[in-house]
Amino acid sequence: MRTKRFAVIGAGSFGYYVAKALYEGKNEVVAIDRNKDRVQAIEPHCTSAIMEDVTNIDTLKKLGLDEMDAVIVSTGTNIKPSILICFHLSRLGIKHIIVKAEDEDHGEILKQLGATEVIRPGMDMAHRLAMRLKFPNIMEFLPLEEDYTLAQLDPPPSFVGKKLFELDLRKRYEVNIIAVKEKDPERFVIVPRADFKIKESDTLIILGKNTDLNDIKELK
């Protein structure tokens, strides 16, 4: 399995921890910021740290970001740089652009400019907390070893239309689907039966080793 490559633009608090977590996950990470202190702080926690102002498209072109699996943009509360960077990345043909938005309007603008994913950390964390309080988190009752993860994944195309017993994931990949979130009708299926048929709109909750889960993510 090839090593994934990511660029993180903006090494403030959020960008710093995203870059660090990706790097600790054995990925190649390029961190970019125009602030010297931030670049020096993130340097030990990424593959390379670059001090550049990337609101200029010519500067972005030189960085080879088109080779990245994703570019994450987190440039602080001033929304203008993130808008410019998102626009330029889209013009450069970057396929996966993830941008941190400050509010709903900012997020909508980013989507119109080519962001493939918009995140709002405060709102996302609030939603996760509310869901954890509403539905007791299985992680509280399932202590995991360091190499194991409970992951939430969209089904690979090769899974769609197949029943669980046909996929035989435990034998083939040593992972277990412990729940499925269905959209239509909206419901949460705990420990789905062997004859459960996976739909494209489903979200799979899978337990397994990190390496095995990465193999699932790579499937077509």
What are the tens digits of pLDDT across the range 160-215? 999 999 999 988 888 889 889 888 778 888 889 999 999 999 988 888 887 888 88
Are residues 73 and 171 part of one domain? no
The CATH number covering residue 25 comes to: 3.40.50.720
Tokens for 69?
């699996």
pLDDT surpassing 50 at residue 141: no
Residue 133 lies in a domain: no
- The total number of structural domains that make up the chain: 2
What is the C-alpha to C-alpha distance for residues 65 and 30, in angstroms, rounded to an integer? 9
- Percent of the chain scoring above 90 in pLDDT: 54
Question: Of 122, 148, 182, which marks where a domain is finished?
Answer: 122
Strands 117-119, 97-100: pairing is parallel
Helix extents (H) in the chain: 13-24, 36-42, 57-62, 79-91, 104-112, 121-134, 164-167, 169-173, 210-217
Are residues 99 and 155 part of one domain? no
What is the C-alpha to C-alpha distance for residues 125 and 208, in angstroms, rounded to an integer? 24
Question: Of 69, 87, 122, which marks where a domain is finished?
Answer: 122
Mean pLDDT, residues 70-77 taken together: 92
Residue 101 lies in a domain: yes
Question: Of 122, 150, 167, which marks where a domain is finished?
Answer: 122
**Structural domain that includes position 206:** 138-217
Residue 77 lies in a domain: yes
What is the C-alpha to C-alpha distance for residues 25 and 142, in angstroms, rounded to an integer? 22
Residue 129 lies in a domain: no
User: pTM score, two decimals?
Assistant: 0.63
Chain center to CA of 86? 17
Residue 185: asked if its preceding bond is cis (omega within 30°), the reply is: yes
Residue 192 lies in a domain: yes
Q: Over the stretch 14-40, which tens digit does the pLDDT of each residue have? A: 999 999 989 988 899 999 999 999 999
What is the C-alpha to C-alpha distance for residues 63 and 55, in angstroms, rounded to an integer? 13
Mean pLDDT, residues 98-105 taken together: 92
The CATH number covering residue 200 comes to: 3.30.70.1450
Residue 55 lies in a domain: yes
Distance in angstroms between the alpha carbons of the first and the last residue of the chain: 13
User: What pLDDT does 18 receive?
Assistant: 92
Are residues 166 and 60 part of one domain? no
Are residues 155 and 68 part of one domain? no
Are residues 205 and 110 part of one domain? no
Contact call for residues 202 and 181 (beta carbons, < 8 A): yes
User: What pLDDT does 130 receive?
Assistant: 63
Are residues 206 and 152 part of one domain? yes
User: What pLDDT does 209 receive?
Assistant: 83
